[in-house]
């Protein structure tokens, strides 16, 4: 999808893990084989059920540089999701500590430990369905899935978090934007699998979100800013 001397960006299909599983090859070994390289370095992760933009470094120096960019919050990521439930609020932010609970699930609590912050807008795309544009400001496991569940809109097909049954889990890594060694890089990847993602109404709305960084995202107070100055 996007091949740079230092890294590669691909469109990961849903329901494929990053690493090998006992019954299925992972996207990482598949890519190594396709690119005829011995190793690629993960610089961020996508859940097995999530499709879309996945970036991998081609050598340790690039991996280290991306690690710094992520840590310094210099990489913008935007996701698309669909829910069959109306949210408690149509736009805003979800912020809370991430706490592991049973059965591989996570939940938000009011602590300042492992804080996850996500901003979002939502749009009605058809009767009973809302499209969410989500900008995670942190990179916690299951962050977006938990955030949307917490506002009453579990992701369609996400049975782990009580989403309505569907042909897939409707979460897709849509856009990534950053500067790398002085070069501005912006990669867009609209979803192309899933009945609700490829419906005319959803595709029309996604077309209108072709520059997600230009939306009026709400200001966020980071926990550490409480003690600033």
Give the chain's largest Cα–Cα span. 54
The yes-or-no answer on residue 158 being catalytic is no
- Length of the chain in residues, anyone? 229
Distance (Å, whole) CA 44 – CA 47: 10
How many whole angstroms separate alpha carbon 15 and alpha carbon 71? 28
Question: Where in the chain does DSSP place strands (E)?
Answer: 2-3, 7-12, 41-42, 51-57, 76-83, 91-100, 106-109, 115-126, 129-136, 171-180, 183-188
Catalytic residue among 6, 47, 167, 200: 47
Residue 203 φ then ψ, to 5°: -60, -40
**Could you list the active site residues?**
47
């Amino acid at each position: 999808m996007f091949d740079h001397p230092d890294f590669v960006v691909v469109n990961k299909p849903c329901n494929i893990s990053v690493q090998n599983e006992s019954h299925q090859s992972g996207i990482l070994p598949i890519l190594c084989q396709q690119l005829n390289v011995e190793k690629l370095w993960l610089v961020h992760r996508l859940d097995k059920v999530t499709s879309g933009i996945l970036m991998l470094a081609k050598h340790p120096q690039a991996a280290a540089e991306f690690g710094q960019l992520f840590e310094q919050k210099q990489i913008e990521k935007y996701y698309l999701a669909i829910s069959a439930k109306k949210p408690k609020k149509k736009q805003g932010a979800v912020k809370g500590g991430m706490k592991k609970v049973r059965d591989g699930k996570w939940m938000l609590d009011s602590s300042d430990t492992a804080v996850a912050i996500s901003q979002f807008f939502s749009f009605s795309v058809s009767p009973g369905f809302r499209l969410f544009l989500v900008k995670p400001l942190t990179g916690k496991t299951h962050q977006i899935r938990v955030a949307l569940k917490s506002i009453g809109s579990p992701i369609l097909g996400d049975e782990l978090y009580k989403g309505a049954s569907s042909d897939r889990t409707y979460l897709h890594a849509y856009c990534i934007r950053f500067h790398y060694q002085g070069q501005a890089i912006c990669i867009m990847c609209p979803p192309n699998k899933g009945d609700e993602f490829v419906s005319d109404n959803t595709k029309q709305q996604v077309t209108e979100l072709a520059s997600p960084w230009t939306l009026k995202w709400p200001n966020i107070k980071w926990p550490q800013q409480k003690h600033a100055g």
